[in-house]
Amino acid sequence: MEPYYYAHISPAAARPHQFEGKQFVRQMRETVEEFLQGLPPATTKASVGFQWIWISNPNVPPHQFNPDGTPRDEWSERVSNVSILRMNGEEMLNELKRKASVARQNLPQESVEMISVERDRTIMDIKNLAIATKTTTGKVGSPIPMPHTPTWMLFSSVDRVDHIWSIVAHAVATNQLGPGATVSPKLKHPETGSRLICIYTYDFSDTEDIIRGLHKLRELGLVAPNEWPPRYYNCDAYTYLEIHPGNQWGIPLSLYSSEEML
């Protein structure tokens, strides 16, 4: 699958009005059906700077209000907090890399265990940093099988991605899921691999809310118990720090999976 463009700030950190006029997101004046008809992911082509289609939850949770009742400017807060996260998080990752290099050179026999301990410590430090900087949004990735995936060869990729995205979009718009969701548009022709839908939550440390979201996805028919592959949950802090699959630090990308939480 082609690499995806990650927005500077997660869509979960923004309110719907902050995307007014943007072609890739549901507008406040649109119904969900108008949004879906205007940007069907199966046929909408990606371009530079447009590699996700977004929908935001129009309901502002209580913690996003100021004491006087006005909505907080959470977007501006997040821009500043993400900068702090990146600066300090990169230092943590560089220190992990340095310690791993020293361990391999000086104590090759014990290096694997030592690096594992340091990696776990760094992961915990990054999580704590994310909580301290309030960059705690995360997402459940929902892989949508395409015709080239043997198990799903009977299904039409175009029909399936639009149908599943419609279910997710309606659930987000009616406050049944978290702050927002994204889906990748058409990246190339012919397509191979899987499309990706990400369903966001507010806080990766709030496992009760994550489990609630998984149960809602199960209720919507999008997640099944004991299914394979499971759905994986990633935190946006890792995205901001460019911790991707197969990263040089050996950090697992996912914090949770539906297999362990359902």
Please indicate, yes or no, whether residues 210 and 145 belong to a single structural domain of this protein: yes
- pLDDT digit string, tens, across residues 137-192: 888 765 544 333 222 122 235 568 899 999 999 999 999 988 888 888 887 666 65
Q: How many domains does the chain have?
A: 2
SS3 content of the chain, % helix, strand, coil (to 5): 45, 15, 45
In a shared domain, residues 55 and 20: yes
Residue 135: Cβ within 10 Å count: 27
- Residue range of the domain that includes 108: 80-132
Residue 33 sits in a domain whose CATH number is: 3.30.760.10
- Tell whether 127 and 206 lie within a shared domain: no
The confidence score (pLDDT) of residue 225 equals: 73
Q: What is the largest CA-CA distance in the chain?
A: 63
Instruction: Give the highest mean pLDDT range of 74-88, 151-165, 209-223.
Output: 209-223
Instruction: Inform me whether the pLDDT recorded for 71 exceeds 60.
Output: no
CA-angle at 248, arms to 86 and 236, nearest 5°: 40
Residues 89 and 107 in one domain: yes
> In 3-state terms, what secondary structure has residue 73?
coil
Q: Are 202 and 152 members of one domain?
A: yes
In this prediction, residue 5 carries a pLDDT of 32
- The verdict on 120 and 142 lying in the same domain is no
When mean pLDDT is compared across 45-49, 94-98, 210-214, the lowest value belongs to: 45-49
CA–CA gap between residue 160 and residue 157 (Å, rounded): 5
> What's the number of CA atoms in the CB half-sphere (13 Å) around residue 159?
6
pLDDT for 33: 96
Neighbours of 164 (CB within 10 A): 19
Percentage of residues of the chain with pLDDT beyond 90: 33
Q: Is residue 208 part of a domain?
A: yes
Q: What is the mean pLDDT of residues 34-63?
A: 82
Q: What is the pLDDT of residues 89-144, one digit of tens each?
A: 999 999 999 999 999 998 888 889 999 999 999 999 999 999 999 888 888 765 54
Residue-level pLDDT at 74 = 57
pTM (global) more than 0.85: no
Mean pLDDT confidence for 31-57: 88
Q: Is residue 236 part of a domain?
A: yes
Residue 194 lies in a domain: yes
Tell me the average pLDDT across 226-241.
Answer: 83
Q: Which helix (H) or strand (E) holds 260?
A: helix 258-261
Average pLDDT, the chain: 79
Whole-number pLDDT of residue 84: 94
Bond from prior residue into 62 cis (ω within 30 degrees of 0)? no
Helix (H) or strand (E) holding 236: helix 236-240
Whether residue 73 is contained in a domain is answered as no
Q: Is residue 3 part of a domain?
A: no
